[in-house]
Structure formats: C-alpha cells, structure tokens
Structure 1
Amino acid sequence: MKAVAEAVHVLNHDSQSCNRVAANQWLVQFQQTNAAWEVATSILTSSHSSSSSSSYLLDFELQFFAAQILKRKIQNEGYNLHYDSKEALLNALLLAAKKFSLGPSQILTQICLALSALIIRAVEHKQPIEKLFSSLHNLQNQDNGDVAVLEMLTVLPEEVETQNSDCNISSTLRYHYGQELLSHTPTVLCFLLHHSEQKIDDDMQLQSRNRKILRCLLSWVRAGCFSEIPPLSIPTHPLLSLVFNSLQVSSSFDLAIEVLIELVTRYEGLPQVLLYRVQFLKELLLLPALSRGDEIVIGGVASLLSEIGQAAPALIVEASTEALMLAEALLSCVAFPSEDWEIADSTLQFWYVSFLKLFLRFFTFIIIICKQWFLLVFFSC
C-alpha cells in the first residue's frame, strides 16, 4: 500500500516529468496484478483519516485512485472472480460507500460505479439487482446511508444501459437486467419522493440535495421508469412538482429541463399535457430571462418548447391558443440577440416539422378541393 501511495504522489506532484512517467507506468502495471484487488480494497475500507489539509489531499488522491482501480478491474475481470471473492468485494464496496457517504463525492461515485459493475457481472445470481436492492435497504437504515443509496440509484441505470455494449452479456440477459431494474421503479420513486420531502434549512444543502434527486430521476426516466404509468398521469406525479419548482432555481434548472425533455421524447401523450404549461414557462421563466439576457434559461426553454412541438406537430397546426403561444415563445427565443446560433439552431427541427405538417395538410386540402371540382364538372357535363 505504501508503494502505491508513493507512486500516486509522484504521479500527481513530482516536478520531473520522467518521474511522473515512470510512476504512471508502474501504476498501470500494478493495476493488472491480483494484488491490486486487496490493496485497493484496503485503501477504501481503512479507518485511517488525516487531519491536515496536505494529508487530506494525498488521501483523496490515493482513495480516488483505488476506487478507479476496482471499477476498472471489475469491468475487465469481474466475470472471472470466484463467487466468494465477489461476495467479499461486494461487502467491502458497501462498507466503502457508507464510509464516503458524506464525501468526497467523486470517490463515492467511483465506488457506486464499481458496485454497479460488480452486480451486473454477478451472473451466478438469478436476480443480482434484487440482491443489490436488499443490500441498499440495509445501507439506507444506517446513518447517512441514504446519501450513498441515492448515488447508487443514480449510476445503476446508467451501468445497466452501458452493459448493452458488453459482448459477454447476451441479449436475453440484457433484457432481463432491464426488466429487473424497472421492477424496482415504485420503490425508487418512493425513495426519491421521501428524500425530497425532508426539511433542510440550509439553502446550499437544499439545492445540492435537489440536484442529486434530479440526477437520479433523470437516470431512471432514461431507463423507462414511467413506462407503466399512463402518460396523462405523469404530470400529476408528486416528483414532477419538484421538477417544475427546480426550473425556477438556477442551480437545478439544467437538470429539470433535461428531465422534462426526456419525458416529452419518450412518452406519447405527454406533450399534449405539457402544452398547457407553456404559459407557465413563458411568464415565469422565458420573459424574465429575456429581460435580463439569461442565455442559459432562454436556450433551455427553447429546447423544451421545441421538443414539445416536435412531439406533437398535429397539435401545433391546430393553432390552439397554447400552440400559438408556444410558437410565439419560440420566435422570442430565436429573436434574442445571441453571439452564436445555438438557440436558433435548437428550434430548426420544430419549424421544419411544423412546416411539413402544414404543407401536407394544405396539400391534402387542395386535393380534396380539386376532387370535388372534378366531380362537379364531370356530373355537370
């Protein structure tokens, strides 16, 4: 362990490039050894802690490196581990997740990625994700364990998605993992809702907590967590209140927009419901952003409105009050004097789809008129 710590220190802090190169080569070779499993695990589960800032930095670098080692080795060699080794590693990673639940967050994320990778490769378990959720339930009941659980729930759907490119996993097993994951949707949504309702007096902590919840929700939306819920009932889901409220907070605006865009593009019928929220988006977000020149908010609202319009072009050509308001809002976004064309570019597909839909409707109307005229002339003769 001492040799690894020294090599990491040289790699990150030595002034001589030749020393840094040598340290990097040594660490790369070390990662490929069997000893790396035990050393990395020991680094992450050790109870040692430093009080000085310099020692804290060195510990962070070493612990982050150890977490990355385990993640990579699991991804590359996880299938070859024996059952007992996997069980021991699972318990060690859960212990490490508990240890780093209050930070540093970068290390916790790497540990959770390693845990997710390990579970996906635990093919000897008929329901590996079920086993993980059982472990997470125990972790949640410990002090600050819910923080680690939240991060774990965030990266797990992403890991399940990335395993689609793993040639070691059959398509049948991939489908099984996806279905097993989604079977826990009610539990996850309840956990997120409960977490969002906890009172926090400190504004910074509250914003940080809400961002983490939105990140987790985004991962599960991308995994298809609302696929079994009727689209018309999605906007009334309690978590959507958090999403809409987060639109009005600068620190969480981007994630809230991403969640809504994912929902719009994935669930048919939802754009029609969100079309009635255009006035809210315009008055509470877009108009104030235009007045203060906030390109981030303008661009985000433009992207969302454009996706709503593209997902429901038939509603747009009906020229309802909401549809006209959406088009007007998008024109306001396009007219905003931005240094680049990113905002305008994000709306191009909307205008193209809308024009195409209008053209087809007009063309159909012309055909009907011509047909009626032809029949009238024919029978007149």
Structure 2
Amino acid sequence: MADIQALLSALSVFTRAPDKTSLENANSWLQDFQHSPEAWSTCNVLLLSPDAPPAAKLFAAQTFRSKVTYDLHQVDPSNLLPLRDTLVTALERYQSGPKTIITQLCLALSGLALQLPAWDNALQSIVETFGANPATVPVLLQFLTILPEEVSGNTRIPVTDDEYRERSTKLLSDNSEQVLELLSMYLQATGVTHAVQSQIFDCLRSWLVAGEIDMPAFGKSPLLAFAFEALASEELFDSAVDVVCEMIHETQEIDDNMPVIELIVPRVIALKSRLEDQKDDPEKIRGYAKIFAEAGETYRLLILQHTDTFYPIVEAIGQCSAYPDLDIVPITFPFWMRLAQTIGKKTTISPLFGEAYKVLMGVVIRHLHFPPDLTSMTGQEADNFRSFRHVMGDTLKDCCLVLGADACLLSAYGLITMALSRGPQSTSWQEIEAPLFAMRSMGAEVDVMDNTAVPKIMDLIPSLPIHPRVRYAALLIISRYTEWINRHPDYIAYQLQYISAGFEDPDPEVSAAAGQALKYLCQDCKQHLIEFLPTLHNFLTTTGTKLAQDDRRQVYEAIAYVISAMSMEKAAESLRTFSLDILTQIHVISSKSTAVTKQELKEVGYGLENLEVMLHVVGPFGDQLPAACQNSCQEAWSIFDTFISKFAFDYDTSERATRVLRHGITLFGQSALSVASSVLSRMVTSFEATGFSSFLWISGKFVGRFGHESDLVLRNAFQNLYERATNKVVSLLQSKDPRDIPDVLEDYVQLLLQLIRMAPDVFFQSSAFPLAFRATMAALTLIHSDLVFASLDLFRDILTHESLTPSSSPPPKFPIYSSAIKAVMDKEGFEFVGYMLSGLVGDFPEDSTAVVVTIFRAVALLWSTQLVAWLPPILQHLPPSSAPNQVKQQFLLDVTNSLNTAQYDKVKYSILTLHRASRKARDRRRVTPLNQV
C-alpha cells in the first residue's frame, strides 16, 4: 500500500500544474519506479482496482508494456505464463475501454509473445478468448493490428536474431492465412458496423506493411474487392485508401504477382472517372491521387511495356497533377521522376509519354504562377509557396529528361513571347515570371554548347517588362546560365548592363539577385571579365557605396573571382588596389581624434567583411610573394594593430578583424612570420582586456602556422600567450559558469591543442600547465559536442604522450614532460576520472567513446593503484538513472580484475559495457511517464 500511495502521490503532481522542479522530481521518481521489480505487483493491483484513478490505471498499463520490453528478466520463468494470464485478464476487464489502456495491454502481450516460446499458440489463444463475442471483437482486432507492428518494429525487445526469426515466423507468417480468413469473416458478418470495418482495414494494412500477407492468397480473398468497394463509403474512405495503396505496393514483384495485379489494375483504372465526379472534394482527390501514384510507381515497367492497357493510370495521375490544390499535386511528383528516369534508359517509347510530359510541363508552369494579389497570402503561405516552386522545378527537370532541354526551354520561351505579343495592357507579370522561373529551374539540364534555345532566351531578357518580380527572375536566369555565357562571351557586356540596372532597383530582392548574378558571372566567366575590372572598380567606388552590405559583399566576391584568373603579378596589383580602399577606411577611423559613431564603425566592419571575402576567394599566391605584396604584410599589420588596440572592445569588430587576419596568414604565408610575435602580443592583450574568444581563436591559428619555428622571440611570445591566456580563462571560470563561456573554452582548448602538438616544450614546462589541465576539465561539463571532442583530444594527447613511454634514450626534455604530467594527474586524477565517467554515462557525444577508451586505458596503465581507490566513490556519485547500481558494481569488478591481472586491454571492454548499459538506461527514460500520462 505504501508503494501505491507514493505512486498516486507522484502521479497527482501532473494534475496540479506545478513548478518545473516538482514536475521533474515526480517524473524521475516514476521512472525509477518503473525500473523496480516491485512495479509488477503494484501495477497489477492498480490495473485491476475499480477505485484507482484513470491516470493511475493508464500508467500501470504503460508500465507493463515498458517492463515486458526491458525487464522481463526480473520475472521468475515459472511466473511468465501467469503474467500472460494477468495481462489477458486485464484486457478482458477493459474490453469497453479506454482505448489507450487496451493499446498498452496489447503492446505488452505482443512483446511477451515474442519473448515467450512456451506461449506456443499465442495468436490462436487470443482469438479464442476475444473472437467469439461481438462485444470483444474490437479488442481482438486491436491486438491483431498491434502484433505485427510490435514484432517488426520494437527493436528494444531483447531477443537474438535466431530467436526473432523463429518467433516472428510462428506469430506472423504461420498465421497470416488464418488472419485473412478471420478478417474476411468479420467484414461480412451480419450487423457489422463502420467502426469495426475501419478496424478491419487498419488491421489488414498492418499485416500488409509487415510483409506478412501472401499476395496470391490475398487475391483469392474477398478483402481485395471489399477494399475497393469501401472507397465509396465516407466513413471507410481513408482506411480503404491506405489498404489499397499497401496492396499495390506489396505486388511490386511483378512476375510473382501478375494474377493479383490483373485483379487490381482494372479496379484502379475504374476509379479514374471519380476524379471528375468528385473534383469539388479535395480530400477524396487526395486519396485517389495516392492510389494512382502508388500504382504508377509500382507498375511503371508494365506501363512502358503494355502502354495501351496501363496508360489510363498515367492520364489519371496527370489529372491529379493538374488539380488546383497544391497540397495534393506533389503526391504525383515521385511517379513522374521515376518514370522519366526509366524512359531515359529506353531507346524507343510510345509518343503518348512525350505528350504526357508536354502537358505536365504546361501544368507545372501554371502552378508556378503567383496569385494576382500577393497580399492575399500570409507570410508563411508565401514562404511555403516559394519553397514548393523549387520542388515543382525538379519536376520540370524530369520533363527535360524525356523531351530534351531545348524543347522544354523553347516551350517556356513561347509562352513568354505569346504573352508579350498581347501588349502590356493584356499581360500580367505572372505570365512572364512563371516561364522565366521554369527556364531557371531547367538551366541545370542545358548543354553549354546549345545554339538554339538559350540564345533566344538571352536575346529576350533585355526586352522584358521592368517589373521587380520579372527582373528578379531574369537575373537568376543569368546566374544559372553563366557556364553557357562563358562559352558565348559576346553576351557578357549587355548582361553586365542588365545586372548593373538590377543593383539600382529599389526592391532589395532584385538587388540581391543582381549580386548573385554578378558573382556567378565573374566566377564562371572570369577570364573574359579581366578587361572589365576597371569598370567594376569604378562601379564599386560610385554605385557600390549605395548598395546594401549583402549586395556589396557579393560584388567584392565577384571581383575576387576575376582577380584569381589574372597572372600573379597583375592579380597582386589588383588585389592591392581594392584592398587599399578598405585599409584606408580602417586607417582613417583609427586615426580619428574625435569620437567614432556606431555607424562609422559599422561601415568599417562592412569593409572588413568585404576584405575577408576577397582574400578567401583569391587565396595564397604561393611561397614566393609577387613584388606588389612584398611589403604589404607589415603595412597591413601596422594598420590593424592600431585599429584593434582602439576598437577591441567592440565584439563584432573584433570578430571581423580576426577573420581577416586568418586569411592574411594564408595569403602571406611565411612572410607573416615577421609580424607573428607582434600579432600574438596584441591578441593576448586584447583577450585579457575583453575576454572575447576571437583573440584566442586567431592566436591558435598563428601557433598552428609557426609553431615549428625555433626563433627565440617567437617561442617567448608563445609562452607569454599561453600563460596570460590561461590566467585570464581561470579568472573567468572563477566568476562565470563554464556554460556561460563555451566559445572562450572551445577556442582556448583549440589553442592548447596547437601548443601541445607544435610547441610541447612551451606547453609542458610552463607553470600554466596545471591550470590549463584544470580549466579543460571544466569544459567536459558542457553539452557542446565540438568542445567536448577538442577537450578529449587534448587529454588523450597529454596522457598518451611519448614521454610517458619508457625508453632507453629519451629526448632530453621528455623526463621534464613526464614529470609534469604525473604531477598533474596525481593531484587532479580523482576529479578527472569522475568527469570522464560522468560524461561517458551522461552527455558526451556518441562518437567520443573510442577516445574515452584510449584515455581510460592510459590512466589504468600508469595510475592503476590510484584508479582502484578512485573508482568506488566516483561510481557511487553516478546517478542510477544513467548507470544502474548493478551495472556500476559489475564495472568496478571488471576494471579491478583487469588491473589486478595487468590485462589493461580488457579495460576497453569494461568501458564499452558500461557505456552500452548506460545508453540503454537513458534510451528507456526518454519515453518518460511525464509524456505518457
């Protein structure tokens, strides 16, 4: 009774809308209760007690389902059949509902049947218990519906592959014929209700989905005809659609199922007339579209081989594609795609298919039309429609596959010229825009050597109406056709004019499209655009200042592509020209004696973004810098040094400046060595002052690039950086929770990784090493995959360092390194192992287990005595919800045995076993009582 009262008390929490802590505590208690052996008897009492609250009864039923899945080992084998009887008795008790409890009990019985070979006639016994009384037939149908779903789908049930094959055959395959007969009998029974008929169809679908129905036998069953007849019933329509789709799908082995297919196809074709009869009922059309699309996909080879017989299915799918409800139309798209792919492999096809895809293309272009009044669409509707247009664009590519890209493009071109011929007063912008969008979608299929359709399109663009949506679509066509333009450079000049006009359009989407068009034009036609570079520079210095930053950045990116195509010397001169514009802007604001406004700083930030994108595209010149760049590194750094010293406290500015410095390392390469020490000094000073992680990030990049250098000044700069950065991080951790500074910790750990790999003399010999070790342990407490991986990599590098491996002639500094590592582990090892195991059974990323094993083996090898003493109190503090007590005890025993016998490799299997058990426990708790009740 105490257990029942405690359970009822915990469940009552959910009815009171309490605080989050109370909810979490109650939920945790209920989870722990579900795991306990006592839950079996407690839930049995609750389930059969007439006075128990409804929520308690449902929880009891759910607990039985959960325990049958996870905890059947808690039941003595002699009590397994009585457990079955208990569940059957409960099912009899709840035959009138609620349905939620019936469902949970059926799930529990299905899971039990799979694990209980002694229950030899499981399905037959349930049929005998519930099948004779009309009042209990719905319970039987629910069980028969759930059984194949649970047997096929619940992968958490602990049975071996051999056991599964044997029991699933016994439960499902051996009984499928009986189930068909049973369902046929109930469907034809006198007085059968629509509710029961719907259950019958749901059950039939479940067995079809599980692949347990023999289709030749099904063809002889009256259920096939009943399914099609039920499509005329309002109450049964949805269930019948699902069954018909599944029976079609199950006949995909054409040769084996031809007799059944010959029964199905005429019935499917007979439905075609209903598309017109019921065109005003979208839900009915949706159902028929599913059936026709399934038939089309399953029988597409038959459609091609016996076109006269099967073509009505294609026509019906075409009607569904043309339906005005755009939620229904995409049901047909997979059919058109797969049919096109199949047709593409054929040498000859019926002209009917060409006609079908011509009609389809016209249909899709009509669907592409925006509504006459755009304000009639909500923001979400407009976004959904734009997304769907791209899906329809994929179907246009399928049309190209069948008809050829030229024919499709010319067809879309014809729609535009026809609309234009009627004059502006009689033509809507939608009539122009939709075919343009289609041309853009089909651009990927265009032959770059085409001289038929694409020239007509290119000649058409300048004459298009000046409407934002039309201009937007035309600019994106230019973006898509730039590879073709590269082969036809005569078009470049006037395309540039059209793009330039796009930048002047007040509509921000049009100017963004112009930026994209210029970027791709310069990327694909860069060799031809070198002569236009002065024009582009002039454009930037005049019109460029008026552009929105996103558009301006795209222009800089476009120009960088052109620069990348130039000879090295000319490229260097051009890059210097464009960079100096930005560097001058930075120098001016750094030298300003009066206060700098937010807008001025924002504009400089934009300049940094533009410089970053240019450097990224142009990339490095190589080991030998061109003459134009010989002194650029020192000149540029002197400007940045002053700028950062003045504006380091502005977060966005710091981020942008350090990203530019990153590309500067790439561009200047070895030449950047001359400023490396100065850069590191400025970065660590700025980090101390601001705590911004970007300064650590760029410092790590410099260490990674120049860490192998032996220059004494640079090595001192590394040490200075290491010690001051560590002191700052430690200071931050004293005033902030680690989860408040994940970016700082991640960039700090990445810096440490560069130091240990490139400059171990600095890393291990510094007084900062113990502090760095402890700071990195704090990072292990965060749910942040990249940071945890980096931290584990660092600990692996420390604890598996070569200096710890005995050697007859170790390098001179290895004893120093080894001594430093051992001193840190002697002091921090207990807490460190605690973090490792907490993370392993907690929130470490799934892929981190291999690194944890490596680290743990290293600890076991070198600190085995300490580890034996550390583990008991560490394991005691691991939560039972993540590591059950029995699992922890076994882990301790396994590790201790491995250490006592010096079989350190076996530690790996102990870790893996603990991890698997923990994952299983956590997976189970994800289906929480809080979500169930």
2:213 counterpart of 1:223: no
Helix, strand or coil at the partner of 1:362: coil
**Counterpart Cα distance in 2 of 1:101 and 1:35:** 26
Q: 1:74-102, CA deviations, whole angstroms, 9 ceiling, x for partnerless residues?
A: 10111442222212211110011111111
2:348 counterpart of 1:345: no
1:255 counterpart (239, 250, 275): 239
Distance change >3 Å, CA 30–CA 167, structure 1 → 2? closer
Distance change >3 Å, CA 321–CA 354, structure 1 → 2? same
Partner of 2:413: none
**Counterpart Cα distance in 2 of 1:322 and 1:153:** 37
Alpha-carbon offset, residue 109 of structure 1: 0.6
Alpha-carbon offset, residue 319 of structure 1: 5.9
Partner of 2:176: 185
Partner of 2:677: none
Q: 1:255-298, CA deviations, whole angstroms, 9 ceiling, x for partnerless residues?
A: 222222222122233445322123421224x22331x141x322
Alpha-carbon offset, residue 121 of structure 1: 1.6
**Counterpart Cα distance in 1 of 2:294 and 2:326:** 23
Q: Which amino acid aligns with 2:57?
A: Q
TM-score by length of 2: 0.35
Distance change >3 Å, CA 31–CA 253, structure 1 → 2? same
Q: Do 1:11 and 1:21's aligned partners in 2 also have CA atoms closer than 8 Å?
A: no
Query: Any residues of structure 2 matched to 1:150-161 within 5 Å, and which?
Result: 150-161=141-152
Q: 1:318-337, CA deviations, whole angstroms, 9 ceiling, x for partnerless residues?
A: 46454232112111111111
**Counterpart Cα distance in 1 of 2:307 and 2:9:** 68
Q: Which amino acid aligns with 1:195?
A: Y
Partner of 2:48: 45
Backbone CA RMSD of aligned residues: 2.6
Alpha-carbon offset, residue 69 of structure 1: 0.7
Gaps of 5+ in 1: 50-57, 366-381
2:10 counterpart (7, 10, 26): 7
Query: Any residues of structure 2 matched to 1:103-122 within 5 Å, and which?
Result: 103-122=97-116
Partner of 2:265: 275
Alpha-carbon offset, residue 299 of structure 1: 2.1
Distance change >3 Å, CA 288–CA 15, structure 1 → 2? farther
Alpha-carbon offset, residue 106 of structure 1: 1.1
Partner of 1:376: none
Partner of 1:375: none
Q: Do 1:182 and 1:224's aligned partners in 2 also have CA atoms closer than 8 Å?
A: no
Distance change >3 Å, CA 310–CA 344, structure 1 → 2? same
Alpha-carbon offset, residue 142 of structure 1: 5.6
Q: Which amino acid aligns with 2:277?
A: P
Query: Any residues of structure 2 matched to 1:278-293 within 5 Å, and which?
Result: 278-284=268-274, 286-290=275-279, 292-293=280-281
**Counterpart Cα distance in 2 of 1:144 and 1:62:** 25
Alpha-carbon offset, residue 308 of structure 1: 1.2
Q: Do 2:296 and 2:335's aligned partners in 1 also have CA atoms closer than 8 Å?
A: yes
Q: Which amino acid aligns with 1:288?
A: D
1:238 counterpart (213, 218, 222): 222
Helix, strand or coil at the partner of 2:112: helix
Q: Do 1:302 and 1:346's aligned partners in 2 also have CA atoms closer than 8 Å?
A: yes
Q: 1:24-57, CA deviations, whole angstroms, 9 ceiling, x for partnerless residues?
A: 22212211222111111112223x15xxxxxxxx
**Counterpart Cα distance in 1 of 2:37 and 2:187:** 42
Q: Do 1:70 and 1:114's aligned partners in 2 also have CA atoms closer than 8 Å?
A: yes
**Counterpart Cα distance in 2 of 1:156 and 1:79:** 21
Q: Do 1:265 and 1:307's aligned partners in 2 also have CA atoms closer than 8 Å?
A: yes
Q: Do 2:278 and 2:284's aligned partners in 1 also have CA atoms closer than 8 Å?
A: yes
2:199 counterpart of 1:212: yes
Partner of 1:27: 30
Q: Do 2:268 and 2:291's aligned partners in 1 also have CA atoms closer than 8 Å?
A: no
Partner of 2:297: 310
**Counterpart Cα distance in 1 of 2:218 and 2:116:** 34
Gaps of 5+ in 2: 351-933
2:344 counterpart of 1:354: no
Partner of 1:98: 92
Q: 1:213-246, CA deviations, whole angstroms, 9 ceiling, x for partnerless residues?
A: 111111111233332x52xx63452112331232
Partner of 1:52: none
Distance change >3 Å, CA 157–CA 239, structure 1 → 2? same
**Counterpart Cα distance in 2 of 1:313 and 1:145:** 43
Partner of 2:599: none
Distance change >3 Å, CA 218–CA 335, structure 1 → 2? same
Partner of 2:56: 62
Q: Do 2:184 and 2:223's aligned partners in 1 also have CA atoms closer than 8 Å?
A: yes
Count residues in correspondence.
340
Helix, strand or coil at the partner of 2:158: coil
Partner of 1:266: 250
Partner of 1:368: none
Which protein is bigger by CA-based radius of gyration? 2
Q: Which amino acid aligns with 1:5?
A: L
Distance change >3 Å, CA 5–CA 136, structure 1 → 2? farther
**Counterpart Cα distance in 1 of 2:348 and 2:326:** 38
Partner of 2:81: 87
Distance change >3 Å, CA 167–CA 28, structure 1 → 2? closer
Partner of 2:140: 149
Q: 1:313-356, CA deviations, whole angstroms, 9 ceiling, x for partnerless residues?
A: 2321246454232112111111111244xx33222222233334
TM-score by length of 1: 0.80
Distance change >3 Å, CA 248–CA 364, structure 1 → 2? closer
Q: Which amino acid aligns with 2:162?
A: T
**Counterpart Cα distance in 2 of 1:154 and 1:129:** 19
**Counterpart Cα distance in 1 of 2:11 and 2:306:** 63
**Counterpart Cα distance in 2 of 1:338 and 1:316:** 26
